[in-house]
Structure 1
Amino acid sequence: MYQKEQLLSRLSGYFSFIAIFISCLGLLGLVISTANQRTKEIGIRKILGARLRSILNILLKEFAMLIIIAIVIATPLCFYLMQKWLGGYAYRINIQWWVFLIAGCICVIIAIVTVGYQTLKAAHANPVDSLRSE
């Protein structure tokens, strides 16, 4: 009776994995590009005595706002669409709020790890090398 839904579930799982993978690659590319553009700024901040935490906060704050805006836009839309889709079944279930909280937390954690790693990589570089090109 639910063969179509099982097929749809498998296909949506595969395509969701591909979409998440592509979005993570896009985030990584954006972070690498931003870190490369701000290498001189990071070098100057290090020379002037900025701590690693303040350098991390600069880039994390920028990307965290983008992720939070995306979550705020996507959550009500997904909730509405899931309620419409699940409302068509004989045995209805309600979507719990914690599902969206967990998904949002996972997105934020992935972004923090990606931005943090690239920022640490740029911050540990020798500031003289980044400023030498002028």
Structure 2
Amino acid sequence: MAQTMRQIEKRWTAMNPREMFTYEFLDDHIADFYRQEQKLYTAFRIFAGIAILIGCLGLYGLNSFATIQRTKEVSIRKVLGTPLASIVYLFSRKFIWLILIAFLVAAPLSYFAMHNWLKHFAYHIDISAGFFIAAITASFVIAALTIASQTIKAARANPVKALKSE
């Protein structure tokens, strides 16, 4: 490649002695077009990770607060023979509704934002329902893991400790 470029430069100088020989490769030129998009992608990934972490911490804190408030209720349900899965469902039901409502608000906004961003590219992907199904599934899995960790701990606690003052 270097030898070829030297030959081209030699011929260029012979034909145009007043003009300086400059060149750039097409793949480098195309990569420059997408360099800003790569920076945006990196920043988006970092901030999305921070947002997910903050959301999980908030959900964990809210669920911890609800669990502490309902410790006696969980203990009574446990004494009466309620299965662990029912107790976990009892706590996660309201959070699942909150996630569903948040998704219903965010999905059209993100579709609109993605559509406006992608229309500036000559070759772009189509926005399909698969992206949104993956997003809601990931949201539910993350929320379930966050909620279940605290709720299972409370449901497995000894009910005698919570009910001994009653």
TM above 0.5: yes
Return the index of the structure with the highest Cα Rg: 2
Instruction: Answer yes or no: is 1:99 the counterpart of 2:157.
Output: no
Compare 49-58 and 79-88 and name the one that shifted more: 49-58
Partners in 1 of 2:165 and 2:112 — Cα distance?
A: 53
Task: Return the offset for 1:42.
Answer: 0.3
Runs of 4+ aligned residues of structure 1 deviating over 3 Å after TM superposition are: none
Partners in 1 of 2:45 and 2:89 — Cα distance?
A: 34
- What's 1:68 paired with? 100
Instruction: Answer yes or no: is 1:85 the counterpart of 2:121.
Output: no
Identify which of 25, 28, 42 aligns with 1:10.
Answer: 42
Q: Secondary structure at the match of 2:143?
A: helix
Same amino acid, percent of matched pairs? 45
* Structure 1: gaps spanning 5 or more residues: none
Partners in 1 of 2:115 and 2:138 — Cα distance?
A: 22
Q: Secondary structure at the match of 2:82?
A: coil
Partners in 2 of 1:48 and 1:90 — Cα distance?
A: 64
Task: Return the offset for 1:74.
Answer: 0.9
Task: Return the offset for 1:91.
Answer: 2.1
Task: Return the offset for 1:44.
Answer: 1.2
Q: Secondary structure at the match of 1:27?
A: helix
RMSD, matched Cα: 1.4
Alignment of 1:117-128 (within 5 A): 117-128=149-160
Bigger relative contact order, structure 1 or 2 (CA pairs below 8 A, ≥6 apart): 1
Q: Secondary structure at the match of 1:88?
A: coil
* Structure 2: gaps spanning 5 or more residues: 1-32
- What's 1:34 paired with? 66
Task: Return the offset for 1:101.
Answer: 0.4
Instruction: Answer yes or no: is 1:49 the counterpart of 2:61.
Output: no
For residues 34-82 of structure 1, the C-alpha deviation after alignment (integer angstroms, 9 at most, x for no partner) is: 1111111101111222222221221121211111111111111101110
For residues 71-100 of structure 1, the C-alpha deviation after alignment (integer angstroms, 9 at most, x for no partner) is: 111111101110011112222332121011
The number of aligned residues is 134
Task: Return the offset for 1:3.
Answer: 1.8
